[in-house]
Amino acid sequence: MTLPHDPSADAIELVTLADVQAAADRLRGVALRTPLLAFGPPPVRPDSGAPQAWLKAENLQPIGAFKIRGAYNALSQLSLVQRAAGVVSHSSGNHAQGVARSARLLGIRAVIVMPSDAPAIKVAGVRADGAEIDFVGPDNEERIARADELAERHGMALVPSFDDARIVAGQGTIGLEIVSQLREMGVADEEPLTVLVPIGGGGLSAGVCVAVKGLRPDATVIGVEPELAADAADSMRQGSIVRWGPELTGRTIADGMRTSALGRITFAHLRQLLDGVLAVSEDDIKVAMLEAATRARIVAEPSGATPIAAWLRHRAELPARGSLVMIVSGGNVDPDLYRHLLEEAATLA
């Protein structure tokens, strides 16, 4: 379903590189500067021109996912009055954990609206940080409506999971780190750079685009999403936000990417800055999780494994030179499901 064109969306002010750099200052000592891990076989010869692949391991964050960046950046900018009233948010898991952890660090009451089918490991993480949970159905729109209702009823500050400039700026700090870390490793700015980033609601991909292209205008940033939840690719093709209902997006194992549509703010960024979108199958994702475990010795949840899946499946379509960075956005996956998916992947590899 294509949503009607919103003329006000054309006037959205984009997040700037300075906004992302300010977010990095706020996050110092809170979010981990996650490592870039060499991935896959190195080029046969240093001068061969073949690309060097890297993983940006956001699964190593304190909450197991990148979401701490945007959540803390947003909460840390609340006024004293807003902090006293508390915050409310909606999320299927990783943003919920980001808000819960940030609220605990800042001494703020937090209420999170989560879907009834949220992974148990993510629910447990939210509860461990002391946030209250309000469960609703699987539809993202239901979560948004319930969070809006709670915010209005109790005067709480609403912290969206992706469609917020503060969130976009916080997530964009990953892009700052990628460019800085490559430079520290001696990779020249003249060398081509490609970044593969998961797309759910678009907060991460929008922020990474702002940061990477702000520092490296020549870089290529490509979004990745499951074939069973490919609303972003539809939106980019049509030039308007396309909504996929939960009966469609709920089919993918990538629970962090079951968002029904991009936000107005995130779409405004992506249509200007994103270079393309690649789709991957459920089997691609499973194999990518196995590759992450065996080649890099890291746990990648299905959503976090999608960039690896795109690299494995679409390698011939990607730039043939330079550095290619895959953002592993999280590693929060229930142990039983993780074992099951790896077992399935072993039969496919």
Residue 2 lies in a domain: no
> What's the structural domain count of the chain?
2
Confidence at residue 43, expressed as pLDDT on a 0 to 100 scale: 59
Averaging pLDDT over each range in 5-14, 86-95, 284-293, which range is the top one? 284-293
Confidence of residue 246 (pLDDT cuts 50, 70, 90): confident
pLDDT digits (tens, 9 = 90+) for 46-74: 555 556 999 999 999 999 999 999 999 99
Residue 55 lies in a domain: yes
* Residue 188: how many other CB atoms lie within 10 Å: 8
- The CATH number assigned to the domain holding 25 equals 3.40.50.1100
Share of the chain above pLDDT 90, in %: 83
The active-site residue out of 67, 122, 213, 286 is: 67
pLDDT digits (tens, 9 = 90+) for 74-124: 999 999 999 999 999 998 789 999 999 999 999 999 999 998 888 888 899
Read off the pLDDT of each residue in 159-177 and give the average, rounded to a whole number: 97
Confidence at residue 87, expressed as pLDDT on a 0 to 100 scale: 97
- My answer on whether 178 and 222 are in the same domain is yes
Confirm whether 102 is a catalytic residue: no
Confirm whether 161 is a catalytic residue: no
CA 322 from chain centre, in angstroms, equals 24
Number of H helices, E strands in the chain: 14, 10
- Structural domain including 292 reads 7-60+165-348
Residue 276 lies in a domain: yes
- My answer on whether 96 and 50 are in the same domain is no
- My answer on whether 285 and 210 are in the same domain is yes
CA 260 from chain centre, in angstroms, equals 15
Asked if 268 contacts 299 with a C-beta cutoff of 8 angstroms, the reply is: no
Read off the pLDDT of each residue in 29-50 and give the average, rounded to a whole number: 78
The active-site residue out of 161, 205, 323, 329 is: 329
- My answer on whether 240 and 181 are in the same domain is yes
For 187-243, the three-class secondary structure string (H helix, E strand, C coil) is CCCCCCEEEEEECCCCHHHHHHHHHHHHHCCCCEEEEEEEHHHCHHHHHHHHCCCEC
Last residue of a domain, one of 99, 128, 159: 159
Last residue of a domain, one of 108, 141, 159: 159
Confidence at residue 202, expressed as pLDDT on a 0 to 100 scale: 97
Within 13 Å of residue 13, how many CA atoms lie on the same side as its CB? 5
Q: Is 79 exposed, middle or buried (0-12, 13-18, 19+ CB in 10 A)?
A: exposed
Locate 200 and state its tokens: 């759910």
SS3 31: coil
Average pLDDT value for the chain? 93
Residue 111 CB partners (closer than 8 Å, separation 6+): 86, 87, 88, 89, 131, 132, 133, 134, 150, 156
Confidence at residue 119, expressed as pLDDT on a 0 to 100 scale: 84
Residue 177 lies in a domain: yes
Asked if 157 contacts 184 with a C-beta cutoff of 8 angstroms, the reply is: no
Last residue of a domain, one of 133, 159, 185: 159
Read off the pLDDT of each residue in 285-296 and give the average, rounded to a whole number: 97
Confidence at residue 199, expressed as pLDDT on a 0 to 100 scale: 98
Phi, psi of 261 (to 5 degrees): -160, 155
